[in-house]
Amino acid sequence: MALNKIFAYSQEKTRERALATVVNPTPAPTTIQPGVPVTFAEGPAVSITASGNGTKTQTTGLPVDVTTVTFKNGGAGNLASSATFAFDGTFEFAVATAATNTASGVEVFIIPASGALTLASAGNVHFGWTDYPRDYIKETGRAPVRIAK
């Protein structure tokens, strides 16, 4: 499950979607982990589960002489090439141009080629707005983003 949730999403708006239908980033991913921002034809979303074919690689906290472990972590019940997505809520993401003085309500965009989030609009696609809780400790390069059309 996505661990970067700040404010709840509406469960009735979550849907399993085929990764092939992701509009941004381009090209669409063939596998996805929880907490990743994307856009679909119907608007911005965040992956709540890994895709059914999801795998994760661990390189720290392993026994001596073990340097890497890769394991399946696909979303239970998801098809190999699909995941469950939320189309609302507020999630914390890396936002390259966010700063400690970024206000709430600043529009956030997704960069089509990389899927990264930015505050720069030129050539990018709307994703949502910054949505800082009252006591949130701001840091450069990260921001809570309210997902909305």
Q: DSSP string covering 32-83, please?
A: --TT-EEEETTEEEEESS--TT-EEEE-SSPPTT---EEEE-PPTT--TTEE
At 1 the pLDDT is 60
- Look-up of token digits 């709540």: 48
pLDDT band at 70 (very low <50, low <70, confident <90, very high): confident
- pLDDT tens profile 79-135: 889 999 999 999 999 999 999 999 999 999 999 999 999 999 999 999 999 999 999
- Interior angle at CA 78, CA 9 and CA 50, nearest 5: 60
pLDDT at residue 29 tops 90: yes
Mean pLDDT of 18-44: 95
CB 119 within 8 A of CB 107: yes
What whole-number distance in Å separates Cα of residue 48 and Cα of residue 32?
10
- pLDDT tens profile 40-54: 999 999 999 999 888
CB 92 within 8 A of CB 6: yes
pLDDT at residue 75 tops 90: no
- pLDDT tens profile 8-18: 999 999 999 99
| 95: amino acid identity, one letter | V
